[in-house]
Structure 1
Amino acid sequence: MQLYRVLTGPDDSGFCHKVSAALSKGWTLHGDPSYAHDPASGSMRVAQAVTKTVEGKTYSPEMKLGEQ
């Protein structure tokens, strides 16, 4: 089964650590990151899609994707 998630956050080292943690758990980058200016906070936000193939599982909306 293929899983998909989008990681989001402010464009800072914390976001890089979030993506690095996902990669260390077997997730792979899917496409390029996206950047957008958040006018409410005056800062840049970033998003990165990641995917992961898992065996022996059945998808359920209740799955906690970050724990896979």
Structure 2
Amino acid sequence: MAKLYRLLTEEDTSAFCHKVSDALAKGWELHGDPSYAYDAANSVMRCAQAVTKDVAADYSPDMKLGQQ
């Protein structure tokens, strides 16, 4: 059994909400609070949300976390 970790990031648009919602629908769980920061290079706000998931497999750096 392995606990997987992902940090989802995106501009502060509905795309971020869809990315998090998709992860939740695939069994990932929220881990901590979301974060927001201003991206001065692109003049946009960016969001981040950590998610975790327990899987019945040994962890490998070759895992495609988005497909788990």
- Deviation of 1:40 after TM superposition, in Å, equals 0.8
Q: Which runs of 5+ in 1 are unaligned?
A: none
Q: TM-score, normalised by structure 1?
A: 0.96
- Deviation of 1:53 after TM superposition, in Å, equals 0.5
Are positions 1:11 and 2:12 aligned together? yes
For residue 40 of structure 1, what is the aligned residue in structure 2?
41
Q: Which runs of 5+ in 2 are unaligned?
A: none
Q: TM-score, normalised by structure 2?
A: 0.96
The Cα RMSD (Å) is 0.5
- Runs of at least 4 residues off by over 6 Å: none
How far apart in 1 are the matches of 2:18 and 2:25? Answer: 10
How many correspondences in the alignment? 67
